[in-house]
Structure 1
Amino acid sequence: MQECDFCTIGAGRAPATIVWEDEGNMAFFPLRPAVVGHTLVIPKTHYGDLFEVPDPTLSSLMRAVATVGRGLRAALHPDGMNVINSSGKAASQSVYHVHVHLVPRWTGDRFGDIWPPSEPWAEKAKAEIAERVRRQFNR
């Protein structure tokens, strides 16, 4: 089985512009950034998507995301920042090694809106979906 591109970067066997790392995580610029400062944060251990990551590693990854995000904010002074994870093909995941995008944002930048126009849910449907989700935590 071929090792994924992010595993080779995390292991130091592939080139990348690394901006931060600790023992378990790494942050680097993607090959095709959406905007200046767009950064990916990964665990160095391979997990296909967010739902495969064990809780201790997930906690470490989210601390890394916050650390790198603060660094980007201090260095670039953006007006805002998107923190994005895509899990699964339907969510536009293209590299199947869990990663979090930090995308610095400036008013009027070329990135544009990330949400489609809102469509209201019927109150009955909202209540039914909420109950289905709540049942998952009471197992």
Structure 2
Amino acid sequence: MEECIFCKIAQDKIDSEKIYENENTVSFLDINPRAPGHSLVIPKKHVKNLINLDDEIVSELFKVTKKVEKLLKSSIEPDAFTIGINEGEEAGQEISHLHVNIIPRFKRDGGGPVQSVVKNPPKKEISKIGKMIRESLKINKTHSK
């Protein structure tokens, strides 16, 4: 399999506008920004989604996300942030490598809250969905023993 573009960025095989890097993660400006300072934080190890990322790196990924948010806050002074992950093609994941979007927000920028991107209300009652999820948790605990 040919390496993905984010793997190439992590390995310095292609140019990017890196703003932070450590042993396991790298952050760089999005090449198609939705706002000034729109940044991505990625694990250097190729994984498609959060579930497949080692727990230690998950923690580091979000610590770096926090650090980059602070860098953006002090440098470009946005009013707020939208932070999110698109996992899977149906969710809009264009590059099959886990990445956290940090999008600076400004008053009257025309954007909405993250929950406004989906309009698919459940047909089942919330209590039934909650029960299904809790039952899945019990099944997973039994299988992990």
TM above 0.5: yes
Equivalent residue, structure 1, for 2:34: 34
Structure 1 residues 49, 76: closer, same or farther in 2, change over 3 A?
same
Cα displacement (A) at 1:53: 1.0
Paired residues, number:
137
Structure 2 residue 113 is matched with structure 1 residue 125: no
Q: Return the alpha-carbon distance in structure 2 between the equivalents of residues 81 and 64 of structure 1.
A: 15
Identical amino acids, percent of aligned pairs: 29
Equivalent residue, structure 2, for 1:50: 50
Cα displacement (A) at 1:28: 0.3
Residues 31-72 of structure 1, C-alpha deviation per residue, up to 9 Å, x if partnerless? 110110000000111001222112111111111111111111
Structure 2 residue 18 is matched with structure 1 residue 18: yes
The TM-score normalised by the length of structure 2 is 0.87
Equivalent residue, structure 2, for 1:85: 85
Q: Return the alpha-carbon distance in structure 1 between the equivalents of residues 33 and 126 of structure 2.
A: 36
Of stretches 91-100 and 48-57 in structure 1, the one that deviates more from structure 2 is 48-57
Larger helix proportion of the pair = 2
Q: Return the alpha-carbon distance in structure 1 between the equivalents of residues 55 and 101 of structure 2.
A: 19
Consecutive unaligned residues in structure 2, runs of 5 or more:
none
Q: Return the alpha-carbon distance in structure 2 between the equivalents of residues 67 and 11 of structure 1.
A: 21
Structure 2 residue 67 is matched with structure 1 residue 96: no
Consecutive unaligned residues in structure 1, runs of 5 or more:
none
Q: Does the residue aligned with 2:128 lie in a helix, a strand or coil?
A: helix
The TM-score normalised by the length of structure 1 is 0.90
Q: Does the residue aligned with 2:125 lie in a helix, a strand or coil?
A: helix
Q: Which amino acid aligns with 2:34?
A: A
Q: Return the alpha-carbon distance in structure 2 between the equivalents of residues 87 and 116 of structure 1.
A: 14
Q: Return the alpha-carbon distance in structure 1 between the equivalents of residues 10 and 122 of structure 2.
A: 42
RMSD: 1.9
